[in-house]
A and B are shown apart, each in its own frame.
Chain A
Amino acid sequence: MDTAPAAKATVHTQNPPKRRALLFLVLPPALWLLCFLVLPYLGLFIQSFLGSDDLGNVVLEPTLDPWKAFFTKTLYRSTLLYTFKIALTVTSLSVLFSVPLAYFIAFKVRRWKELLYSLIIVPLWVSYIVRAYAWKIILGREGILNSFLQWAKITDAPVEAFLYSEWAIVIGLVHIYTPFVLMPVYTAFEQIPRSLVEASKDLGAGRLTTFFRVVLPLSLPGVIAGGTFAFVLTLGDFLAPVLLGGTDNLMISNVVQNLFGTSNDRPLGSVVGIVLLVVVVALLETTSRAEKSFASLESGRGRLGGAR
């Protein structure tokens, strides 16, 4: 840091105060990242190669056992796969709800646009736990849904499959994460030049054709961004299985929580944490590439646009 400015001083005529200002600008986030991202993950990584004794203390003895345990025991693999399955379901449903809703608000509503948009975002202000509990009250054996179904004579006994099941988890998470998907999708719709839609109609395309050939491809970056939110957030969720899940809906974060908070097996917990991190980073990289490639559609050089 000391030598670099001196060496470059001859080339650039920038005055030192500006550089110092730059340093002050870069330093806080760099420190933040170092303290709360780099060092903890480094610690986690090293911890994953250590052993632990009978009392659950981490001991300074390098070993590959935690990694072996993760890859040989079905518990961890099958839970990870199950979590992917739930995350995929939640993501698909959230996208399925968000796209028509965002389309409606962006293109069809005129007067109450802001209000409608806010109404969808407002639930984000309510704490996660409160919303999960609300679903407990709705889906329970003596809950609102069951009371209604019995009152309407659709069922004659309470349906127990609603609460404490995989579907309860999915419903809860879709409700909680849909706004996260809707926001980027809506923004993408808003950014589509209306002239393109009009041009499509002028060229004789019907509403559906316009939607699928013009609007949807142009909004794909938003859909991908939103979908990634929902997927990654679901992947890391452990409260929904605890509050809404039944007896066989263990998700990977529950296992992490259990390894750190109950079993006292920090090394193995670190392994699961790192695997999850790698998966998420790979996923983010893939989706950000996909977003970029679809974002270039507008200029006509993108994959879909270029094909026709």
Chain B
Amino acid sequence: MIRMSSWVSAAGLAVLGIASLGCQGEKKPEGAAPTGSAAPAVQKPADPAEKFKGQTLNLLTWEGYADPKFTKGFEEKYGVTVKYTYFGSSDELVAKLKSSPGVYDVVSPSSDVAYPLVQGGLVDPIDTTKISSWGDLADALKNLDDAKKDGKQYGVPFTWGPDYLIYDANVVKEEPKSWKVFYDAQYKGKVTLWDDISNIYLVGQIMGLDKTNPAALYNMTDAELAEAKKKLVELKPQVRKYWATAGELNDLFKNKEVVLAVGWPLTVGTLNKEGLNLKGVIPEEGATGWIDRLMITSSSKNKELALAYLDYVTTPKAQALVFEATGGYCVANAKAKEHMSEDLKKSPCVTEGETYFKRLNFWQYVKERKKYNELWNEVKSAK
């Protein structure tokens, strides 16, 4: 079996090289400055801060992971520019990374796709001795196997958090106890789900599949998948819209289209600043969660700068800013607490820490991902 790098197939297999010579005139990474590709190894400047001056770092991240609140510090420190592209789902990350090699330097995969990225050679091992705060990052995150290969570490823990139930507390007066509130006739057409296969995990939880084995959600049998599909189709009349980006979810709440959602703390944090009264809760069935690590792509042209970014963004101060910018995503560096405002310290990440971590069923690699994706499409096309 010959594995091909996917851009070859994207450019049209049959082209047999001719096309790649003749037809690919414009293969410039979007927004990447030409200076970015200058090899830093050749020049040997004395001051490390001068070394990267004028370069551009390209992030491919979840929404909220390129907030100027914390990227600015890095830009100023090294005199570089941080550019970013958001992805709306884990699958989109993989697809984007595969179809445009060399464009992105740092990616923020969640725990469901870390494994294929590492195994597929899309990311490079990380020299953890260059990460000054490595020792302070939570062991529970560093010890995960999915970002390791041949004893090497491929990911630097960044943040973690839940896909929990968000409700508009002005409309839903009582805190929902169970995900079943989504099926409540009272909220018909007032629910929004993420346009992502994680909904299959969600109904799996409602079905109680992960009571004894958390991994069951990610390895459902055909019968369980059929049942999950039935449950998701049943839920459709209740659902107003499947949101594709955090921005779209914000609009749905702001325009009063929905009052119940599955989402991330980012939404609650962002919208409550704008005067809404949203609350997030982990229902009795539990919630799934994600662990996001930062990785350096193997096709990156700015690997040293990328490593400098990982070093910067895991320092206690930067992590506190990440926590603030994302509206309370739990951060990997426990020392970040020292730099947080009193208000933010009330977050369950700080007050409950480990117990909070244990309440979440963190996304895992889904071997039958294609099947899960097809099922989700079938749900969407069902009338």
Contacts and interface: CB of A to CB of B under 8 A. Distances in A.
B241 A39 contact: no
A40 B99 CA distance: 15
B2 interface: yes
B190 to A, nearest CB: 9
Interface stretch (B4-12, B130-138, B319-327): B4-12
A258 B377 contact: yes
B380 A248 contact: yes
Contacts of B23: 35-36, 39
B240 interface: yes
Interface string B16-36: 001100110000000000000
Given A39-B14, A248-B236, A55 B116 contact: yes
Interface string A139-150: 011110000000
Interface string B233-244: 000100111101
Contact of A264 (B5, B95, B381): B95
A247 B9 contact: no
A53 B95 CA distance: 14
Contact of B6 (A140, A242, A262, A266): A266
A262 B3 contact: no
A264 B378 CA distance: 16
B359 interface: no
Given A59-B1, A140-B257, A44 B373 contact: no
A264 B19 contact: no
Nearest to B122: A55
A52 to B, nearest CB: 8
B373 A142 contact: no
B14 A262 contact: no
Nearest to A51: B1
Contact of B377 (A44, A46, A75): A75
Interface stretch (B53-61, B74-82, B86-94, B208-216): B86-94
Contact of A60 (B2, B91, B369): B2
B11 A43 contact: yes
B152 to A, nearest CB: 19
A160 B98 CA distance: 40
A266 B9 contact: yes
B381 A263 contact: no
B381 A248 contact: yes
Contact of B373 (A42, A43, A164, A262): A262
B188 to A, nearest CB: 9
A35 B380 contact: no
Given A57-B6, A142-B256, A264-B95, A39 B19 contact: yes
A246 B240 contact: yes
A263 B91 contact: yes
Contacts, number: 134
A118 to B, nearest CB: 33
Contact of B255 (A42, A75, A142, A248): A142
B39 to A, nearest CB: 29
Interface residues of B, number: 49
A303 B360 CA distance: 71
B382 A248 contact: yes
Interface string A55-80: 11111110000000000010100110
B374 interface: yes
Contacts of A46: 13-14
Contact of A262 (B13, B92, B255): B92
B122 to A, nearest CB: 9
Contacts of A44: 12
B178 interface: no
Interface string B356-383: 0000000000010110011001101111
Contact of B12 (A42, A59, A73): A42
A84 B198 CA distance: 30
Q: By DSSP majority rule, is chain B's interface helix, strand, loop, or mixed?
A: helix
A302 B13 CA distance: 47
A89 B380 CA distance: 21
A260 interface: yes
A75 B233 CA distance: 14
A300 interface: no
A266 B381 CA distance: 20
Given A60-B2, A242-B244, A246-B241, A262 B381 contact: no
Contacts of A58: 4, 6, 9, 13
A250 B381 contact: yes
B1 A61 contact: yes
Contacts of A61: 1
B15 interface: yes
Interface of A: 31, 35-36, 39-40, 42-47, 50, 53-61, 73, 75, 78-79, 82, 140-143, 160, 163-164, 242, 246-248, 250, 255, 258, 260-266
24 contacts: A36-B23, A40-B12, A47-B9, A47-B12, A54-B116, A55-B120, A56-B6, A56-B95, A57-B3, A57-B98, A59-B4, A73-B374, A142-B256, A143-B255, A160-B257, A164-B257, A247-B239, A248-B381, A250-B377, A258-B377, A262-B92, A264-B94, A264-B98, A265-B370
